[in-house]
Chains A and B, each alone.
Chain A
Amino acid sequence: MSTAIDLKAATRTFLAQTEGHLATYLEGCVHCGACADACHFYAASGDPRHTPAYKLFPIAKAYRNHKFPFGWFGFARPIGERDLREWEELLFDTCTMCGRCTMICPMGIDIASIVGGARRAFVAAGLGPADLLAAADNSRDHGSPLGVTADKLRDRIAWIADDNEVTIPLDEPKADVLLTLSSVETMKYPKSVAAMAKLLNHAGVSWTLSTKGYEATNFGYLAGKGVIAKTMVERIVAAAESVGAKTVVIPECGHAYGVLRWSAAAMLGRPLPFQVLHISEFLAHLKRDGKLRLTPFEEPITYHDPCQVSRRGGATADAREVLRDFARDLREMTPTGDENWCCGGGGGVQAIGRAAPLRYQVFKLKMEQVERTGAKTMVSACSNCRLTMDESKAHWQWQGGIDSLVEIVADHLVEESPKAQ
């Protein structure tokens, strides 16, 4: 069954994004194909359609058709229904916007920066995976992609606090730090929420959660729905302003960090009234200030870099700073850091059900990387990576351990608070 596709809306949305960066990137591609070798989807499938440069063909076509003299003299055709139908899967299911292709591109083209915008055109045309779009709509209508409303958050937080014997401030009138949550943590990894609370309490931070703005993930951005993306940002801004927070901490979620730290100000058209820190950055700050007192973690572990925190976020060193001296046997993967392989579920791909088989294939790269280190456990600072990898682990019945940075750190806190000394 096929639904009507609004080609004009797609073309309009493609062209509305025409500015210098996009235009030079689209005109600069020499079709060398190098990007395929950096893409985990191509590496996993061997399907040439998964070549990153190929994924940009529809937006490049719309651009060429519009630009003098190519389109004007009939050298470049306009985009057609076939372009959009065929590329929908490529743009949504097979790109996590991880940016690894940028590193290999001899022209230095930042393909990931184009994909988000290209998705908007598909959505404007009436396309896009239903489950990813529903996650965005849920965020707008119910506060989070998994339907965590403010009331549900209150219940959930009360339960997590009670179950883990930890104080979790919610809707405090004033706080220096506003903590946000990924609903993946709230619903699937509640221990992570408790762990962050323990860490912030331990360090004596003035902090709170807020029912005005608590969802860190931004499925509006990932699903190509710009209005919802902005709404999600505005909620966090309103929450931070209402408690007077100078810092907003993003939990273990790579894309949440990427969107709020690097894209939100552009969405709002003004700078954010607070600094944005990923929890790994915040923990590194606390450690530098001597506010984290930890007992050593002796087991061999390895660290999986969330792409939006490391490769595209510039915070590659922070998680390692937290782990240094604490994780006595940290074994880096090959490749690691900014060059690490993606989990396969970022950029909203985790929310696309039909992409699961491909994600499982991608996880083989990670299993091999981890096994080569000999580490028993892989730790990440992204609950979305963790969920993607946990599902793939179950699929392959893999024996490796997958854990979270905040959880292992919280489990090794020295009970006595430094403030009490």
Chain B
Amino acid sequence: MDLLDFARGPALTAALSVFVFGVAWRLLSLFLLPWARDPSPRRADARPAWVGAVRGFARHLWPRKPFARASMLTTVNGYVMHLGLAIVFFGLAQHILFLRGLFGIAWPNLPSGLISGVAVVTLGSLALALARRLTHPVLRLISTFNDYFTWLVTFLPIATGLLAVSHLGAPYPTLLAVHLLSVSLLLIWFPFGKLMHAFLVFVTRSETGIAYNRRGVVL
């Protein structure tokens, strides 16, 4: 078994298992906790809870006006990075083939040149995020191993993927193997670090939306 066989065989299978079971465990461990109920009477004109949840989610998609200036860099860079990741992951022909193998569904791919461009922008966005984390006094203070390691495991698949499609630095099978191993690393880390926010963002925004909505706060 060569490196590529290992990377796309047992390594990826194991990583996917850790990802699936880890995420399930992490979410179940939260949902199975007791959830404090609020026995205070709702404001009479409060909208139904589901409206609060939806509004709570939507309200935090973009900063309110007073915060726009301070948050603009983080917000725009955040969107560039997240959209970039999504475009690269769902748009590249090879990824679609891989996903079809897993789920049996496929969709049209984007041109590989475009994907490479988006990947470069995404890497730049990640670099900016890291530079900010290393230099901004607030971010430096509150950053932990989780933040830096999560950054690394997000950066590596894009960087190695870009090298692989560009055939740069090593034979293609080696580049592909390294890329797949970096994806495995991301999948294994996912349930244990802050990448879980990809799921938790729906929970936290909604629960806050529900809580404020019942108080009659206009979201």
Complex Cα–Cα for A135 and B201 (A): 39
Q: Is the CB of A48 within 8 A of B208?
A: no
Q: Is the CB of A21 within 8 A of B207?
A: yes
Instruction: Name the CB-closest residue of A to B196.
Output: A27
Q: A21-B207, A23-B30, A104-B64 are in contact. Are A266 and B200 (CB under 8 A)?
A: no
Q: Is the CB of A338 within 8 A of B40?
A: no
Complex Cα–Cα for A278 and B99 (A): 56
Cβ contacts A to B, 22 pairs, < 8 Å = A20-B31, A20-B36, A23-B30, A31-B142, A31-B146, A31-B194, A33-B74, A33-B139, A37-B67, A51-B138, A67-B29, A70-B192, A106-B60, A107-B200, A113-B211, A264-B40, A265-B40, A271-B40, A271-B41, A314-B43, A314-B217, A339-B66
Given A104-B64, A107-B201, A312-B215, 20 new contacts (CB under 8 A): A20-B35, A31-B143, A33-B138, A36-B138, A42-B138, A53-B142, A106-B60, A106-B75, A107-B205, A108-B207, A109-B204, A109-B208, A262-B38, A265-B40, A269-B39, A270-B39, A271-B39, A313-B217, A314-B43, A314-B217
One of A19, A110, A314, A315 near B34 (C-beta < 8 A)? A19
Taking the complex as formed, is A32 at the interface, i.e. its CB lies under 8 A from any CB of chain B?
Answer: yes
One of A33, A265, A275, A338 near B142 (C-beta < 8 A)? A33
Q: A31-B142, A36-B138 are in contact. Are A104 and B41 (CB under 8 A)?
A: no
Instruction: Name the CB-closest residue of A to B39.
Output: A265
One of A28, A57, A104 near B71 (C-beta < 8 A)? A104
Interface on B for A, CB 8 Å cutoff?
Answer: 26, 29-31, 33-36, 38-41, 43, 46, 56-57, 59-60, 63-67, 70-71, 74-75, 78, 136-144, 146-147, 192, 194, 196-197, 200-201, 203-209, 211-212, 215-218
Chain A residues near B40: list those with CB within 8 A.
Answer: 261-266, 271-272
Tell me the minimal C-beta distance from A188 to chain B in angstroms: 29
Q: A28-B201, A312-B217 are in contact. Are A104 and B33 (CB under 8 A)?
A: no
Which of A97-154 touch B at CB < 8 Å? 102-110, 113
Chain B residues near A36: list those with CB within 8 A.
Answer: 138
Tell me the minimal C-beta distance from A268 to chain B in angstroms: 8
Complex Cα–Cα for A25 and B60 (A): 15
Taking the complex as formed, is A335 at the interface, i.e. its CB lies under 8 A from any CB of chain B?
Answer: yes
One of A21, A69, A104, A275 near B35 (C-beta < 8 A)? A21
Chain A residues near B215: list those with CB within 8 A.
Answer: 262, 312-314
Q: A20-B36, A314-B43 are in contact. Are A32 and B200 (CB under 8 A)?
A: no
Which of A272-296 touch B at CB < 8 Å? 272, 275
Taking the complex as formed, is A212 at the interface, i.e. its CB lies under 8 A from any CB of chain B?
Answer: no
Complex Cα–Cα for A172 and B63 (A): 51
Chain A residues near B38: list those with CB within 8 A.
Answer: 262, 265-266
Chain A residues near B70: list those with CB within 8 A.
Answer: 34, 37, 104
Q: A31-B144, A51-B141, A314-B216 are in contact. Are A108 and B67 (CB under 8 A)?
A: no
Chain B residues near A51: list those with CB within 8 A.
Answer: 138, 141-142
Which of A47-74 touch B at CB < 8 Å? 48-49, 51, 53-54, 57, 67-70
Q: Is the CB of A48 within 8 A of B204?
A: no
Taking the complex as formed, is A405 at the interface, i.e. its CB lies under 8 A from any CB of chain B?
Answer: no
Complex Cα–Cα for A54 and B143 (A): 10
Taking the complex as formed, is A4 at the interface, i.e. its CB lies under 8 A from any CB of chain B?
Answer: no
Chain B residues near A271: list those with CB within 8 A.
Answer: 39-41
Q: Is the CB of A20 within 8 A of B30?
A: yes
Chain A residues near B60: list those with CB within 8 A.
Answer: 105-108
Complex Cα–Cα for A306 and B29 (A): 37
Taking the complex as formed, is A24 at the interface, i.e. its CB lies under 8 A from any CB of chain B?
Answer: yes
Taking the complex as formed, is A1 at the interface, i.e. its CB lies under 8 A from any CB of chain B?
Answer: no
Taking the complex as formed, is A179 at the interface, i.e. its CB lies under 8 A from any CB of chain B?
Answer: no
Tell me the minimal C-beta distance from A29 to chain B in angstroms: 8
One of A34, A109, A263, A335 near B74 (C-beta < 8 A)? A34
Instruction: Name the CB-closest residue of A to B136.
Output: A33
What 1/0 mask marks residues of chain A from 286 to 318 whose CB sits below 8 Å from any chain B CB?
Answer: 000000000000000000000000011111100
